[in-house]
Structure formats: structure tokens, C-alpha cells
Structure 1
């Protein structure tokens, strides 16, 4: 059977893992998994030029999105091979589905590239470093996340113009940090794994104590501290007749009263109301108490976010609590099917919004207190799923475009620790540790794969850019 791209479809991968009762048997099971997938086999990738059929996967994704934003999506992806990689999680998932796996499942991030990790504020008002994007989360093979992360480090280092030795060091440090962190988690009690977190202040101290500069991380901290709803309101809203209203900043931000082209979905004010009411119904009572304290609704707008997410429906709501200076800005973001779904099977949850939220709670050390999900049915009978969170809650993204060598390497290390933590929380850390073992066979294989797949990404980027140049793909100027 062929899929919509004309390529041969394959049945979903079955991850039928039965965890043993004791640590010794769990470790032995991990070692035994090497028979089906030798650690060295993870190095395998052969670069294939001219893969037009993979670009068709992007078009397939775009077909269900807001069409007027697709040229902006492709424009953002066209900047460099790294921005292209950020938008091609589906392409890589289709490739990873052909590679060896140990059979040990985890809650995958699904799009674990280095730009999808960063800083955010915990409910205890401490800055932590963790995964910060969960759109593609789904149970799947842990190796896929590792390969996507490590490959992203190689591509990012190339984008920064680093020499071969520095790129090799960054990639090696990334996979080694994952390996070492998983080994530590395999020795820990279950609750200790669950509560473990990467405190940013302590991490900076550790880096600098070991002679590793952390200017990039410190700059991110300064920015993250101010990234809250009040700051978001100051940036994106203005006062009109004593009431805050969203600014007109097209295409990044457009108030709903200035949007057209949504008639087939229904009136936008009704859409927002339906989504918000559904969100309230799914919140725990303590979180609902917080939300309801922001009882004044002021405005809503469509916002454009990210690179790969451009074209998905994203709404922002402006609320206030004590007074108009006590702002709450919520983001309601469309949740599509995970890019992993066609390769590992469908989600257990009724909606993709709940899939994202439940996956985030499993993976992330401490999730946004206002995290929730909602859905609606459009006039033409299509169900649209969404998840909801604060737009900014101390969120700080690492400035990868301007980070130096140590900044990229430190970010790679922290991202690898956070990924290992997500996998240890949701999978069999002892079995994964047993599979990797004390040797460097697995690490060396991943390093080789990262280099080869980075070459593949460059080849696919050439095809993508040719499609833009020929006019086959629309691209904003």
C-alpha cells in the first residue's frame, strides 16, 4: 500500500516491551536487546540526493494549515539548513522508521532538536532547564529522540561555522551527556528520578567552577526572568479607551476582529468562547481557581509561532485579574497528529490536545500550572484540537544564532541531560543503560549517524530551495 506521497507505506512499529521485576533482569533485557539491534548498527545511514518525495511530506502537512501563512512557514525554513531541519520533523521521522531500534519504549519528545530545549520558571519561582516543545510527543523508540537531538547539534554547529574539531566535540559531548545521565538515573530510586531537575543557577555555577564559560546561559536567564504575562501584555497590547487591546503586527499578530478567511470554521469570537469553555472544563479545580481570578476578558488575536509550527492555528487571549496591570496572556495552540503517529501507531488519548498535555506532564520536570486542552468542531464538521498554556512563564530560549562554541556545547549537554531525564521518567532507565553499556559503541554510532544525516539534511535542503526557486513551493519575501 502506498501513502499519500506515493511512497511505500509500512506497518506501524510495535514496541512490545515487558519490564522485568528486578534491576538485574531489566539490565539483562537491555543487554539482550543488542542482538536485534547491535549498538554499532545505529551508525547506518546512506545519503540519498534528490528526494523530492520527502518535500511532498511538507506539502501534506501544509494542506491542513492556514493557507495564507504557508509562504511564511517556507520562508522561515529557507533561511538555512538548520531552520529547514527545525521544520522537517516529519521527514526525519519517516527516515528513522527505517533504522534499527532496541525495542525499549519511552514517551518520545518527537521533535527533540536543540532549539526545543530551554529555560522556564517553575511554580516555585526557580528557573529550570528542560524540554519546552511537546507538539509531537508520543510513545516510541528512545533512540529516535537521541538521533534527532545529536544530529541537530551537528547541524547547528555547522550553521555557526564551527570547525570540524569543534563540531565533533559538541556532538560527542551531547551523546556522552545523555549516556552518563541515563547511567545515573539507572542507579536512582523511582521518586528520585521523578523529582530530579536541572536547576539553572546551580548549572551555571558548575560550568564556571569547571572553567566553562556560560555567557550564553546567563544572557538567557536575564531575558527569562522578565518573560511573564505582564511583559507579554506590554509588548503585544496597547490601551484603547481604558481597555488593553492587542496590537496590529501582521503577520505575527493580528486581532481577531481584523481577520478574514475563517467563515468556513465559524465566527472567531464564538470559536474563542467555545475553546475557552472547553479548556475550563478540563482544568483541575485548584488551577481553575487561579484561572477564574482573571475574570476580565479583553481581546484575542492570531499569533504566528516557531518555524515548523507556522500555519497551525494559534490564538492568544488577553485577560486581567486585580486590575488591567495584572495581566494573563494565554496561548491556545492547535494540536495536530504527532509526526510519529503513522510510524508507531495512534495516540491513546481522545484528542491531540490531551495527547500533548499528558505527554508534557510525563516528560517535563514541572509543567505550567495553567496547562490544559480543549477542542471544537468547525462549521464544515472538522474537529480541531488545541492545548492551552501561558504564553510566557519565564520562558527563555537559548540564542543559538549568536552563541559561541561553549554556548552551543553547554546547551547540547543540558539538552541531553533533560532528554535522558524524560526517557528515565517514562521508560526503563535500567534497560536503556544496560543496552548502551559502559563502552562507547553506541556513542560512536550516534556520532557517525549525526554527521551522515546532517549531510542528508543539506541534500534535502537543496531540493527544498529548488522547489521554492521554481515556484512549486510558495515563499514569502
Structure 2
């Protein structure tokens, strides 16, 4: 096997935009909950299957999403070949260009411009009798925690502080905690502990939202049992730093109650991919960008020359992965249909997460 640091969450809707350390908006992979050292093709195959599923969701024909998968693998191969011949530091700093010309990315960047911490402050909080912002209860998806639980979370921030880089430690000292909430999060993390800390910097108009997200062993660990990580939050944070040239200034980790946590900003100009934007040429264009981003991450953490030697021109590899992706997407849809049938037959209980009025 040719091993790299896997993204682990290599799928279309894990691509999105966020603010880099210099304030510029960046488009890249967002989450790294499943990151682990593993064979490069695992990421490629998963993203390829995701492109097929996204294409079907956008009502594309078989030929269209097949071409998109091949375009993804071809861009991965050609980018890797380019990186194999470049100085290592140049590869580590590589930035993808032409993103502004890709409709789904443009839409995500527009969303990012609106997604400010102040916007989140308006959505999640209300002033108390002293004018201090407090989290609103929106059970069962969001609520304020008890004072005892809040104390535990704030103590965890002391451990988190030690994981920050020195320049980020100095900046973090300028913020003070205001309130603590609990947020129910997406499909892969349902049932996990996920806290949100509201902090205030230079006055009420300078909010910071930190997310403490529980991390467990990567889903890939069952296939990589020889790899042991003592702290799953550190695994996720260090994996992200290994893959990306630009990451959250406040990325770190902590522990609480015997559980591991990743700590990061909750919403700093974050935007996501809208599947509606994948109609027309949007899917193929996005797939090509995904191929370049993935190749850069793998080249930063693995041997670009060896991967290039395996892929060759990319033609045979792209067709083989296309065929795999279509079969895997078929299986995914069959699994989801079985899941829906189990719900209808009351074999699986479906929780009601409609927020209370």
C-alpha cells in the first residue's frame, strides 16, 4: 500500500468555504473526523462514489456523472504528477486557482460572506436582563447547559489552551467566556457530545463561537487496527494540519469526562455546497477542483512520486474507479432504501428533532 494521511470524510458535501488565518475565504475540505493514515485510493474511491450520488440527486444522466467521476480522477492524477516534480515546500503551499469560475463554489463563497459570528450571535442568543447575550433554548436541537456542565466545559478550555500554537494562545487570552450551549450535530456525529462556547473579545460586537466536538476512533480504524491514537481529538486536528496548508487559527483539542474533543471555531464565514448548484456543468467543475484538493493533501502527507507511478496517465485508473463508484453508489442507495423500509415497518425508531415552538 502507498499510504497518506486520509481525509476520511471524502465526499461532496464535506467541501465548503471558510475564512483563513488572513481573513481571505478559502474553499477546501471542512471536517476530518475520520482522518487516519491509510491507502490513498480509499479517499479517491469514496469521493468518486459521492460524485455519482450527488449527480443522481441533481437528476443528471448516467453519462454526465460518469464523466464527472473520470474528470475527478484525471485531475487527481495530473495534479499528483505535477506535485511529484515540484519542490516539497511549493507543494505544501499549493493553492487551487480558477475556483471563482465554478458555480457551486461561487455560491458557497457568497454564503460564507454572510455567515459571520455576529450573524450567529443574532440567531442563537437573546439578551438577559443585564443585556448579556445568552443562548436560546431550541430543544431538541440546541439548549443552554446547566451551570455544573458549563463549569466542566470551561475547565476543558484550560487543557485546550495548551494545544494551541503560541501566536494563537496570545490571541485566545483576549477573549472571555460568556455562555455554554449544547448543539445536536449532523448524521455522522448524532449521539456525540457537542458543546458551543460563546466568547467575547473586544466588546459585544466581537463574538467568538468555539465548538467542542466529541471525537471517537476513526471508522477506518477497524481496517487499520495496528494504528493507535491516544487522543482522538488530537488525531483529527493533527490530521487536518497535515492535509491542509490553511486551517483554523483556533484548531486544537481537549478532554472532558473521559471523552476526547476536537476544538475549533463553530462558524467563521463557513459556506457549504448546495446540491441544486450541481446542475449543468457544475458537477464536473466541482469534481475537478475536488481532485486537485485531494491530490494536494495526499502529496503533503505521502509520496507523490509513488502515487504517480501507480496512476500513470490516469486513463485506466479513472475508468476502474468510475466503475467502482457506480457499483458502490448502487449499493448505497439499496442500503438507504432498506433503512427507509425498516422505519416504515417500525423496526427502526425515528426520533422527532423538530424544534419546539
1:224 partnered with 2:112? yes
- Which residue pairs with 1:406 in the alignment? 281
Query: Which structure 1 residue ranges, 5 or more long, are not aligned?
Result: 1-102, 208-213, 259-266, 378-382
- Out of 443, 447, 451, which is 2:318 matched to? 443
Does structure 1 residue 306 correspond to structure 2 residue 204?
no
Q: Superposition pairs for residues 56-455 of structure 1, below 5 Å?
A: 103-199=1-97, 202-204=98-100, 207=101, 214-241=102-129, 242-257=131-146, 267-295=148-176, 297-345=177-225, 347-377=227-257, 383-438=258-313, 440-455=315-330
Q: Secondary structure at the match of 1:110?
A: coil
CA distance in 2, matches of 1:116, 1:369: 20
Displacement of 1:133: 0.9
Contact kept in structure 2, 1:130 and 1:198, CA below 8 Å: no
Distance across 1 between alignment mates of 2:261 and 2:198: 17
Could you tell me which residue of structure 2 aligns to residue 83 of structure 1?
none
Query: Contact (CA 8 Å) 1:129, 1:414: kept in 2 or not?
Result: no
* Preserved CA contact (<8 Å) 1:224 1:394: yes
Aligned residues: 351
Q: Which residue of 1 aligns with 2:355?
A: none
Q: Deviations over 1:177-215 (max 9, x none)?
A: 11111111111110000000225xx422xx4xxxxxx33
Larger Rg: 1
After superposition, give the CA deviation of every residue in 1:150-178 in whole Å (9 maximum; x if it has no partner).
Answer: 00000111111111221222212111111
TM (normalized to structure 2)?
A: 0.94
Q: State the TM-score, normalizing by the size of structure 1.
A: 0.71
The structure carrying a bigger strand percent of its residues is 2
> What is the CA-CA distance between 1:345 and the residue it aligns to?
2.5
Q: Contact 1:176–1:443 at 8 Å: present in 2 too?
A: yes
| Pairwise CA distance, 1:459 | 1.6
Distance change >3 Å, CA 347–CA 277, structure 1 → 2 = farther
Q: CA deviation at 1:462?
A: 2.2
Q: For the aligned residues, what is the CA RMSD?
A: 1.7
Q: CA contact under 8 A between 2:69 and 2:318: conserved in structure 1?
A: no
- Structure 2 partner of 1:82: none
Distance 1:341 1:219 in 2: 35
Mean Cα displacement is larger for which, 273-282 or 316-325? 273-282
Contact 1:134 1:360 in 2 (8 A): yes
Q: Which moved more, 1:398-407 or 1:430-439?
A: 398-407
Extract unaligned runs of 5+ from structure 2.
353-357
Q: How far 1:439 sits from its partner (Å)?
A: 5.1
Shift in Å, 1:349: 3.6
Task: Describe the shift of the 1:129–1:359 C-alpha distance in structure 2 as closer, same or farther (beyond 3 A).
Answer: same
Contact 1:150 1:447 (C-alpha < 8 Å) held by counterparts: yes
Q: Distance in 2 between matches of 1:365 and 1:470?
A: 48
Q: Is the 8 A contact 1:128 1:198 kept in 2?
A: no
Query: Aligned to 1:325, what secondary structure does the other structure show?
Result: strand
The counterpart of 1:469, out of the listed 344, 347, 350, is 344
| Structure-1 separation of matches of 2:191 and 2:50 | 23
